[in-house]
Structure 1
Amino acid sequence: MNTRLLDDNITSQVRDAFASLEQPVKVLFFGSQEGCQYCGDTQQLLEEVTALSEKLTLETYDLQQDAETAAQYGVDKAPGIVIAADEGGEVLDYGIRYAGIPSGHEFSSLITDLIQVSRRDSGLSEATRQFLANLTEPVHMMVFVTPTCPYCPRAVVLAHQMAMESPLVHAEMVEAMEFPELSSRFGVSGVPQTTINMGKGTVVGAVPEGHLVQELQNALAR
């Protein structure tokens, strides 16, 4: 029997937070047998979290063995997580992704996302919703984080809110130390760093909603 990752205190807090869950949420986990240091812990973490509410269900896949499903969701890194709405067994994919274990401060991002998706409402301002409604081309954001960064969850949750609001937005938390090649490629020297459309835009720090919208506009104009 594995030692639990969540102690009684955290478990109690999460269970209390999940009292506000409204609609069912599906969590898809993609692991790998090929050199994935944190896959076991990530799967266990998700099992413990989703067990705390009947409104949460977890599906587990292997990146290689279930390559077709991974491709369907655009997951190419392990551990990988998709958080989606569960509409009567049908998966409504908002484009919310995690690459790496959501541990440390990022655990709060995971819990916030689950609650947000259960409400089926991004919680964004009307101005931001209008901007996203008028998008005509895809936006891909990678938010580089570390578990010890206290400001990173704000950046992750904001990107995920935008993904939830628009079918053209795809937003992925990337744990910088688990994916050093990606961090190096995009010049990550501090976190959080949000990389827009594979480097067309870069935002360093946890910025307000309006600031990120401006950076997205700038990146799309390039």
Structure 2
Amino acid sequence: MLLDSRIIDKIKERFSALKERVRLIVFTQEFECQFCQENRTLNEEIASVSDKIDVEVFDFQKNRIEVERYRISQIPATVVMGDRDYGLRFYGIPGGYEFNSLLDTIVMVSQRESGLSAESKRRIKGWNKPTRIQVMVTLTCPYCPQVVRTAHQLAFENEFITAEMVDITEFPHLVSKYQVYGVPKVVINEKVQFEGALPEEAFIDRLLEV
């Protein structure tokens, strides 16, 4: 097991706030994926804590229909969804500080409430441009979960937005591609890039530049 009894007790406390069902869609493969099995095990152990969480596992090579349906570009990958796909993705195992990001996203989806301010909801309500937000993180970065949370909140509120946590230590080719010198680093539609944990309002300002 990856999670000890102390951590499981804390998860149970967090999950007391769950309301609606949540599905964790895990993409993996048996070979040439260092953390795939660990990511699958982590999601299955989290799901075992609550009867409101289900896990589905697909092979990245064999289940191409599901890979295309959820637009999965790399593995390990986890999709957090409820009654529909809100565009919430985790690429890499969400451990370290990002473990809380995964729990936060599960609770958000279960409650069917993003937690964004009324003003932020108003600003992105009419946004209709297909938008991909990538949040580059490391699992030892204490400032990264805040940015992942904001990105996921925006995706939850607007069907045209997808938001991805990307652990750059598992995908080192992205470090050079996006010139990542510090984290968190956000890349929006390959056009807008910024570093640092911007507050919600400033994050939306940058989003609207796309």
In structure 2, the residue matched to 1:169 is 161
1:193 matches 2:185: yes
Amino acid corresponding to residue 107 of structure 2 in structure 1: I
Aligned match of 1:11: 8
The answer to whether residue 106 in structure 2 is matched with residue 109 in structure 1 is no
Please state if 1:61 is matched with 2:53.
no
Worse-superposed segment, 126-135 or 63-72: 126-135
Instruction: Give 1:184 deviation, angstroms.
Output: 1.4
**1:213 and 2:204 correspond:** yes
Query: Partner of 2:145 in structure 1?
Result: 153
CA RMSD between the two structures:
0.8
- The Cα of 1:126 is off from its aligned counterpart by 1.4
Residue 128 (structure 1) aligns with:
120
For these two proteins, the number of residue pairs brought into alignment is 210
Greater than 6 Å deviation, 4+ residue runs: none
3-state DSSP of counterpart to 1:102: coil
Distance 2:70 2:154 in 1: 18
* Inter-partner Cα distance in structure 2 for 1:147 and 1:109: 11
| TM-score in terms of structure 2 length | 0.98
Give the secondary structure class of the aligned counterpart of 1:58: strand
SS for the counterpart of 1:59 is strand
Offset of residue 183 of structure 1: 2.1
Q: Partners of 2:73 and 2:188 in 1: how far apart?
A: 18
In the alignment, structure 1 segments of 5+ residues that lack a partner are none
Q: Select which of 17, 20, 36 maps to 1:20.
A: 17
- SS in structure 1 opposite 2:81? strand
* Within-5 A mapping of 1:25-104: 25-85=22-82, 87=83, 92-104=84-96
Between the aligned partners of 2:141 and 2:86, the Cα distance in structure 1 is: 25
Deviation at 1:132, TM superposition (A): 1.4
Q: Distance in 2 between matches of 1:6 and 1:33?
A: 22
The superposition leaves residues 152-180 of structure 1 with CA deviations (integer Å, 9 ceiling, x where unpaired) of: 10000110010000000000000011011
Aligned AA for 2:129?
E
SS state of the match for residue 208, structure 2?
helix
Residues 95-133 of structure 1 show CA distances to partners (whole Å, capped at 9, x for unaligned) of 000110000000000000000000101111112111211
Q: Which runs of 5+ in 2 are unaligned?
A: none
Letter in 2 for 1:19: S
The 2-side partners of 1:154 and 1:173 are apart by: 11
Q: Does 1:182 align with 2:174?
A: yes
The answer to whether the Cα contact below 8 Å between 1:203 and 1:212 also exists between their aligned partners in 2 is: no
1:95 counterpart letter in structure 2: G
Tell me if structure 2 keeps the 8 A contact 1:63–1:76.
Answer: no
TM superposition shift of 1:136? 2.4
Q: In 1, Cα distance between the equivalents of 2:167 and 2:180? A: 11
1:76 shift after superposition? 1.6
Kept in 2, the 8 Å contact 1:31–1:62? The answer is: yes
Distance in 2, matches of 1:19 and 1:151, equals 26
Q: Percent identical across equivalent pairs?
A: 37
Q: Which residue identity is paired with 1:80?
A: A
